[in-house]
């Protein structure tokens, strides 16, 4: 009887997984037609719809499993047997690793209130090698002979869309010029050079991305063509040829691509060949398998923890009023948990903070908000905590931080993990010259691009932004985040009488202020402390102090306009290259 129950549960889960993959692929396949029809709202809608497939299906399946198992739904010994029965079923799937994560999600949602248990879940990577590979290569191969232009013309033909090119000859000239400058001159080689270009095209927002690699002798060079579809047709916006450029496009700060893939691990390994420093978790996230990205992140962290002995400490930077944040110095993550009580002047609550993090997980992050992974019942060795840190966590969040003395563990009921970055205020303490200029410009661009995505950060102090290894500025403090269109941007009223002060003795303004009223003119008084840095910011972004900027952005959102935000530096765009050439020739 029990054996039949075990078999029924395992088969029910694997059948539901097949249905999940089918629906996932169906939505993903819309990417091409959305791009060809310039249906930008449709592609954003598909991105959210695809995220919700997992979120809707797993709880529904968990309820079904509870009905099947009856009173035995929380029997962990029985779940251990179900896992053993499920393993050979999942290993037959091309997306076997996704199937294992799917099982974990269903198990935890069914049983509830337990952490990563290797007896009943696929906690560790139990595969020494990737078992599956496509019969035919997942990429097309091109050999560079006498005509570089001919090779790229062939590529553009092979990846043509149901829409005409705006100016194919002009784009080919730009591609060839960039390739000669950044690849052939950097990697001189007399032998045969080949290009391996993934057959699957990546779609996100308004762009189509063709990804490949250049094999030059013993060197492997990344290659990415970015296509845009304007009113006059399709054009190549840029050619990217460095690991750093591709890493930014595939950043943990961006929404996920729609890209059709039969064997996820095969695609992931190809991408890792051109971005060797990119964690597997980030790559799985980027192609839409964010739940498995979370699994990969946990596995990598667990292995690191086993092989190190440094202690968890408070994360660098100014302590937050809402979140307690700690880190392991040897590992590139921070762990964030919500305090039980918030320090004044914060007046929010835990439910609102969680809703803010959920908003970020489902919204277009436009390269300016860090992705997070949410964990429940997260356990860590007690002896790896700096005593001062553990004491502080137990003080500020006693409802969710517990010490299991029997197992010598710290159990945190709820936390978020996020990529560790250098807080912007700390970064600016030791930087000057061009670096300061570039990062302060980035800071303003971050605020503007968030506004372009209908996001108002709320608290825009430097301490709430971080700097990545590529010197990208990213917002990471979400407890006051909201939709831009929900705010009322106002100009400060003029004093009614000559003697009026802006604020009374209690720090209250003399004029009426609504809960969502924002006065951009006041930003200049608290955003940046250092005079030299403030001047740089004013030079680039003084429009942020004018309500007009914010109201115009609101109108764009209300009209449904999707503002262009490119996942690479402006100087990388061919249009800027051509404009520079015209200026050098003295043309208008």
What is the rounded distance in angstroms from the CA atom of residue 519 to the CA atom of residue 502? 12
Would the pTM of this model clear 0.85, i.e. be above it?
yes
For residue 91, give the 3-state DSSP assignment: coil
Helix H or strand E encompassing 233? strand 233-240
Average pLDDT, the chain: 91
The yes-or-no verdict on residue 1 having pLDDT over 90 is: no
With 90 as the cut, is the pLDDT of residue 487 above it?
yes
Buried b (16+ CB within 10 A) or exposed e, 552-569: ebbebbeeeebeebbbbe
Please state whether 205 falls in left (phi above 0), alpha (psi between -120 and 50) or beta.
Answer: left
127: tokens are 């595969």
With tokens 């095209």, the residue in question is: 201
Q: What gap in Å lies between CA 440 and CA 538, rounded to an integer?
A: 10
Report the alpha-carbon distance of residue 149 to residue 386 in Å, rounded: 60
Name the pLDDT band for 492 (thresholds 50, 70, 90): confident
CB contact at 8 A, 369 and 358: no
pLDDT band at 550 (very low <50, low <70, confident <90, very high): very high
Collapsing DSSP states into helix, strand and coil, what is residue 214?
strand
**Which residues have a Cβ under 8 Å from the Cβ of 135 and sit 6 or more positions away?**
none
Whole-angstrom Cα distance, residue 60 to residue 432? 55
| Domain extents in the chain | 2-111, 139-304, 308-420, 424-572
* Dist. CA 222–CA 214, nearest whole Å: 6
Residue 587 scores a pLDDT above 60: no
Residue 506 confidence class, pLDDT cut points 50, 70, 90: low
Write out the E strands in 307-408.
313-314, 323-327, 333-338, 372-381, 401-404
pLDDT value, residue 586: 62
pLDDT digit string, tens, across residues 35-81: 999 999 999 999 999 999 999 999 999 999 999 999 999 999 999 99
Q: Where are the beta strands (DSSP E) in 349-405?
A: 372-381, 401-404
Annotated catalytic residue within 117, 364, 371, 477: 371
Cis bond before residue 447 (omega within 30° of 0): no
Which of the listed ranges 150-154, 186-190, 314-318 does the model predict with the highest average pLDDT? Answer: 150-154
- The percentage of residues in the chain with a pLDDT greater than 90, rounded to a whole number, is 73
Confirm whether 477 is a catalytic residue: no
Q: Are strands 488-489 and 517-518 parallel, antiparallel or unpaired?
A: parallel
Q: Tokens in use for 382?
A: 């007690």
Give the separation between CA 174 and CA 161, rounded to whole angstroms.
20
What average pLDDT does this structure show over 242-262?
A: 93
Alpha carbon distances (Å) from 378 to 116, 165, 540: 8, 52, 43
Query: In this structure, are residues 518 and 489 in contact, taking their beta carbons and an 8 Å threshold?
Result: yes
pLDDT in tens, 517-545: 999 998 888 787 778 888 889 899 999 99
The pLDDT of 457-467, averaged and rounded, is 91
Count CB-CB contacts under 10 A for residue 470: 11
**pLDDT: is 469 or 242 the higher one?**
242
The whole-number pLDDT of residue 171 equals: 96
Q: Tell me the per-residue pLDDT of 305-345, one tens digit each, with 9 for 90 and over.
A: 999 999 999 999 888 899 999 999 999 999 999 999 988 77
Strand (E) or helix (H) holding 213: strand 207-216
What local confidence, expressed as pLDDT, does residue 165 receive? 95
| Beta strands at 233-240 and 219-230: parallel, antiparallel or unpaired | antiparallel
List of residues 6+ apart from 387 with CB closer than 8 A: none
pLDDT tens by residue, 335-362: 999 999 988 777 788 999 999 999 888 8
Q: Which of 13-17, 105-109, 239-243, 527-531 has the lowest mean pLDDT?
A: 527-531
Read off the pLDDT band of 584 (50, 70, 90): low
Please enumerate in sequence order all residues whose Cβ is within 8 A of that of 475, keeping only pairs 6 or more positions apart, or say none: 368, 369, 370, 446, 450, 457, 464, 465
Q: Which 3-state string (H, E, C) describes 360-376? A: HHHCCCCCCECCEEEEE
Top pLDDT among 80 and 511 is at 80
Per-residue model confidence (pLDDT) at position 572: 92
Q: Which of 284-293, 469-478, 562-571 has the highest mean pLDDT?
A: 284-293
Whether residue 482 is predicted with pLDDT greater than 80 in this model: the reply is: yes
333 forms bridges with which residues in the sheet? Answer: 419
CB 411 within 8 A of CB 385: no
Q: pLDDT over 70 for what percent of the chain? A: 95
Mean pLDDT, range 433-447, rounded to an integer: 88
Count Cβ atoms within 10 A of the Cβ of residue 277 and give its class: 0-12 exposed, 13-18 middle, 19 or more buried: exposed
Q: Write out the H or E segment, with its range, that includes residue 244.
A: helix 243-249
């Amino acid at each position: 009887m029990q054996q039949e129950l075990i078999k029924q549960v395992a088969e029910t889960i694997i059948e539901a997984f097949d249905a999940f993959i089918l629906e996932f692929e169906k939505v993903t396949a819309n990417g091409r037609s959305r791009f060809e029809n310039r249906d930008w709202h449709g592609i954003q809608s598909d991105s959210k719809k695809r995220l919700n497939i997992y979120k809707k299906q797993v709880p529904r399946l968990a309820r079904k499993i509870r009905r099947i198992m009856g009173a035995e739904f929380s029997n962990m010994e029985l779940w251990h047997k179900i896992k053993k029965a499920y393993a050979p079923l999942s290993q037959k799937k091309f997306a076997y690793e996704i199937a294992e994560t799917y099982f974990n999600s269903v198990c935890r949602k069914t049983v509830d209130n337990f952490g990563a248990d290797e007896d009943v879940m696929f906690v560790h990577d139990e595969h020494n090698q990737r078992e599956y590979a496509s019969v035919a290569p997942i990429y097309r191969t091109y050999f560079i002979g006498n005509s570089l232009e001919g090779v790229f013309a062939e590529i553009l033909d092979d990846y043509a869309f149901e829409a005409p090119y705006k100016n194919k000859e002009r784009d080919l000239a730009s591609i060839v010029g960039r390739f000669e400058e950044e690849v052939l001159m950097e990697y001189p080689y007399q032998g045969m050079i080949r290009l391996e270009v993934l057959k699957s095209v990546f779609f996100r927002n308004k762009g189509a991305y063709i990804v490949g690699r250049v094999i030059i002798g013993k060197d492997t060079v990344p290659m990415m063509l970015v296509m845009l579809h304007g009113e006059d047709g399709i054009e190549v916006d840029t050619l990217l040829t460095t690991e750093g450029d591709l890493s930014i496009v595939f950043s943990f700060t961006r929404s996920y691509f729609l890209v059709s893939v039969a064997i996820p691990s095969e695609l992931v390994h190809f991408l890792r060949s051109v971005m060797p420093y990119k964690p597997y978790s980030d790559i799985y996230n980027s192609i839409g398998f964010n739940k498995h990205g979370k699994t990969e992140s946990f596995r990598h962290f667990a292995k690191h923890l086993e092989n190190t002995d440094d202690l968890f400490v408070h994360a660098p930077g100014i302590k937050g009023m809402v979140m307690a944040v700690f880190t392991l110095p040897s590992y590139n993550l921070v762990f964030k948990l919500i305090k039980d009580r918030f320090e004044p002047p914060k007046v929010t609550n835990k439910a609102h903070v969680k809703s803010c993090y959920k908003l970020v997980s489902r919204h277009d992050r436009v390269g300016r908000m860090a992705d997070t992974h949410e964990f429940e019942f997260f356990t860590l060795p007690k002896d790896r905590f700096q005593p001062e840190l553990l004491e502080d966590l137990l003080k500020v969040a006693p409802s969710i931080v517990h010490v299991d003395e029997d197992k010598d563990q710290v159990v945190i009921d709820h936390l978020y993990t996020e990529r560790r970055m250098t807080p912007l205020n700390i970064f600016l303490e030791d930087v000057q010259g061009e670096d300061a200029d570039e990062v302060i410009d980035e800071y303003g661009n971050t605020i503007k691009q968030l506004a372009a995505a209908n996001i108002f950060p709320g608290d825009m102090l430097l301490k709430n932004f971080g700097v990545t290894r590529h010197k990208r500025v990213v917002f990471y403090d979400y407890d006051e985040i909201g939709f831009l269109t929900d705010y009322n941007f106002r100009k400060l009223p003029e004093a009614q009488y000559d003697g009026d002060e802006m604020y009374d003795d209690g720090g209250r303004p003399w004029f009426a202020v609504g809960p969502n009223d924002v006065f951009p003119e006041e930003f200049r008084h608290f955003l940046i402390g250092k005079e030299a840095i403030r001047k740089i910011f004013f030079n680039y972004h003084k429009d942020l102090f004018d309500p007009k900027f914010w109201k115009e952005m609101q109108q764009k959102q209300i009209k449904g306009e999707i503002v262009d935000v490119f996942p690479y530096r402006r100087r990388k765009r061919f249009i800027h290259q051509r404009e520079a050439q015209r200026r050098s020739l003295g043309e208008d």
